[in-house]
Amino acid sequence: MAVLPLASLAGCLLFVSALFTMLGQGGGAFYTPLQVIFGYEFHTAATNSLFLIMVSSLSATIVFRKARRVDWSLAWTLEIAAASGAFLGGFFSYLVSAHTLSWVFAAVIVCAGIAMLRQAPVAAAKPLRSPRRFLWKRSLGSHRYLVNMLHAMPLMFLAGLLSGMIGIGGGVLKVPIFVLLLGVPMGIAIGTSAFMVGLTATSGFIGHAITGNWDPFASIILAVVVFIGGRIGARMSINLDQFRLRRVCAVFLIFAAVFMAFEALIFAEALMAQPVK
């Protein structure tokens, strides 16, 4: 890629990484389509995206750790399921068209965004009902909450599977799952998700890279940019109150879904324009 387009892409990714890290998300929902717009093939863009998510996640986690926003035990436990799904999603992504993946993912996250807008503005939802032995009592700072592990593990596996296929860290799914279905407070959900998306992205990246879809030169240059953006976004998140943070997160989930649906239409038009062999 030429210097000027690469610089333009870097500027876009700086903004995206700061914004989505603030919401506990890797930003892959935008990293991948932005690279496609700047000329990358979809599967190469997806692999590059996963690498960039690894970097922005590391940057944000450093900040969230100091603010005590990461539930480490919960993150490592659920990441077993999420990373397994991400690896399989990355490895078998070639079996599903980019057009189909974009539409499916857009539909899922727009539903999540609407649900977060409809729920109470600050309080986390009660965890799904389950036998007591599957409820994990958690505490972090002044927060006390129960996590239903019988539902948490399969939900995180599915989030990882879909995320690995499309080349993102899965924060757009993990944050709503944490808040709406597992009863995790918003601030902790964002900090924990920011850490987890990096682990999920690592697993998905390995699955993609095995097939040879990676541009290391551009990825390393852009990694510096998203590292800076990750720190900026994490600090912004800590300074926002819970009510505003949740509303911002819900709105941007819907916006990301619209963006991906638009990107899916572009793919469809491009495929229709190709001559039949």
Beta bridge partners of 148: 135
User: DSSP for 138-190?
Assistant: EEETTEEEEEEHHHHHHHHHHHHHHHHHHTS-SHHHHHHIIIIIS---HHHHH
Residue-wise pLDDT for 117-151, tens only, equals 766 544 455 555 666 777 888 988 888 888 999 98
CB atoms within 10 A of CB 272: 7
User: Which pLDDT does position 156 carry in this prediction?
Assistant: 92
Q: If DSSP codes are grouped into helix, strand and coil, which group holds residue 246?
A: helix
Residue-wise pLDDT for 81-131, tens only, equals 988 888 888 777 767 776 677 777 777 777 777 777 766 544 455 555 666
Tokens of residue 253, six digits: 């989930």
CA atoms of 256 and 25, how far apart (whole Å): 11
End-to-end CA distance of the chain: 29
Q: If DSSP codes are grouped into helix, strand and coil, which group holds residue 110?
A: helix
User: Which pLDDT does position 228 carry in this prediction?
Assistant: 94
Beta bridge partners of 144: 139
CB atoms within 10 A of CB 137: 8
CA atoms of 84 and 154, how far apart (whole Å): 11
Q: How many domains does the chain contain in total?
A: 1
CB atoms within 10 A of CB 216: 12
Q: If DSSP codes are grouped into helix, strand and coil, which group holds residue 50?
A: helix
Helix (H) or strand (E) holding 137: strand 135-140
Return all residues near 95 (Cβ < 8 A) that are at least 6 apart.
none
Closest CA to 195 of 106, 90, 69: 69
Tokens of residue 144, six digits: 């006390």
User: Which pLDDT does position 127 carry in this prediction?
Assistant: 56
Q: Which domain holds residue 237?
A: 3-273
User: Which pLDDT does position 3 carry in this prediction?
Assistant: 60
Q: One digit per residue, pLDDT tens: the chain, 277 residues? A: 556 677 888 888 898 888 888 888 877 767 877 888 877 777 788 788 888 989 999 999 999 999 999 999 999 999 899 888 888 887 777 677 766 777 777 777 777 777 777 665 444 555 556 667 778 889 888 888 889 999 899 999 988 888 777 766 677 788 888 988 888 988 899 999 999 888 878 877 887 778 777 878 888 888 999 999 999 999 988 887 777 777 787 787 787 777 767 766 655 554 444 444 4
